[in-house]
Structure 1
Amino acid sequence: MKQEVKKIVIFGESQLASLAHFYFKHDSPHEVVAFTVDRDYLNSKEHEGLPIVAFEEVEDHFPPSEYSMFLPISFKKMSHLRRDKYEAAKAKGYHLASYVSSKATTWPDLDIGDNCFIFEDNTIQPFVKIGNNCVLWSGNHIGHHTTIKDHVFITSHVVISGACTIEEHCFFGVNATIRDETTIAEATLVGMGAIITKDTKPGDIHLGQSSKIMAKKSMDLDSISHKSKG
């Protein structure tokens, strides 16, 4: 089915924003026309050769009746920061575009929400449902009949087996593995290389192949990084 060509404003001037610009430019029918950031972070007039304007007044320059928006924001605070800006853009009336790489393996009628960023080499099997505002970095396997709810961030080479349920605000580190028919509760942080064989509890942090559960909750972390302590 032929896609409707959209003119898109990208939020941010980070590496993620530059990646989004690259993918839309080289692998979509859409046209990126500008960037936007919060006024406090507006330090230049252009990014990637395109104008950049304050988010507080973006609709004055690029009205939502004529332009769509894409918000490639990181997983900080278990993607709550991305959710806040997602909701702010929706409140302004913007349609939020999604990007699905042509180099991802998908099937017709992929059930996907808005403002999703699906990178190359993802294998998304039949009957998968992906909610709004999700990021799937490159090289993941999403098994059949799995449901991924809103505001989820999946890094790379994650295996989510068939018929799993991924609740909102979950994060999956590189090479994590989830057993089939498992429910990953809201805001679960699945660390790099973790193997999950049973349902999790909201906010839990699972580390390593033994899936050690930390005493902290995921929302207590300031950062999700290999440089973080404790």
Structure 2
Amino acid sequence: MKTKKVVIFGTGDIAQLAKYYFDIDSAYEVVGFTVDKDYCLSPTFENLPLVPFDDVEKHFSPNEFEMFIALSYAKMNKLREIKYFKAKEMNYKIASYVSSHCSYLSQFSPGENAFILEDNTIQPYVKIGDNVTLWSGNHIGHHSVIKNHNFISSHVVISGHCIIEPNCFIGVNATIGHQVTIANETLVAAGAVITKNTEVASVYLPTRSIKLDKKSSSIKL
């Protein structure tokens, strides 16, 4: 049963996916979309009204509707952060989505504008801040803290007692070891293994795969 109404900021893939998840697996009814005026090129998106962000309050009052910021990790999540704070300045309550198909075992609820998809395992005592995206299939270990404005992609392992400082991106299949702190604005690339604390605004790449000078048919499997 739909008991709340939400406007989604964005018209990209994440906005389209957010509508899908809210529609099939939440108490929210998606009533429309909003983007900056220069990107408002059509009156509708996904068969719902699309209105300029500057005018969104005229169409969807903060007294009646919540907002969800459906943006990516661009510029280390800072674009999503800016729109999140702007929506709050406009007095919108900020919606979150937590999949019913994830294992959310922590006693602490996530913050605002959470987007936590299916098959995540969030262990006890984990704390998740505001404006955090956890794409599908991650493991967030016990007593870890994911601070505000982070994006964790898919099948990431974050071990116990880790701290993810704000504005980080962690790529697919990355592994973060026990009691490691990921500093502000760290970019951990897909497949990287981090066993020591990172440096602010640093980039960590995995060891590259090696191409053998052989045909695959010559390898006995």
TM-score normalised by structure 1 residue count: 0.88
Matches of 1:203 and 1:157 in 2, distance apart? Answer: 23
* Contact preservation (8 Å) 1:195, 1:209: no
Q: How many residue pairs end up in the alignment?
A: 208
Query: What is the one-letter code of the residue matched to 1:182?
Result: V
Matches of 2:207 and 2:150 in 1, distance apart? Answer: 21
- CA-based RMSD of the aligned residues comes to 1.4
Counterpart secondary structure, 1:111: coil
Matches of 1:80 and 1:128 in 2, distance apart? Answer: 23
Task: Give CA deviations for 1:109-156 in whole Å, capped at 9, x if unaligned.
Answer: 443100010010000000000000010000000000000000000000
Task: Give CA deviations for 1:166-195 in whole Å, capped at 9, x if unaligned.
Answer: 000010011000001111100000011000
The reply to whether residue 96 of structure 1 matches residue 98 of structure 2 is no
Matches within 5 A, 1:46-61: 46-61=44-59
Matches within 5 A, 1:15-54: 15-54=13-52
Task: Give CA deviations for 1:177-219 in whole Å, capped at 9, x if unaligned.
Answer: 0001111100000011000001111001000049xxxxxxxxx
Shift in alpha-carbon separation, 1:4–1:130, aligned structure 2, 3 A = farther
Matches of 2:32 and 2:58 in 1, distance apart? Answer: 13
Query: What is the one-letter code of the residue matched to 1:156?
Result: S
**Among 9, 12, 36, the residue aligned to 1:11:** 9
The structural deviation recorded for 1:11 is 0.6
The structural deviation recorded for 1:58 is 0.3
Query: What is the one-letter code of the residue matched to 2:74?
Result: K
User: What does residue 156 of structure 2 align with?
Assistant: 158
Matches of 1:110 and 1:22 in 2, distance apart? Answer: 26
* Contact preservation (8 Å) 1:170, 1:186: yes
The structural deviation recorded for 1:29 is 1.3
The structural deviation recorded for 1:108 is 6.1
Matches within 5 A, 1:109-128: 109-128=107-126
The structure whose Rg is larger is 2
Matches of 1:204 and 1:8 in 2, distance apart? Answer: 36
Counterpart secondary structure, 2:80: helix
User: What does residue 145 of structure 1 align with?
Assistant: 143
Counterpart secondary structure, 1:168: coil
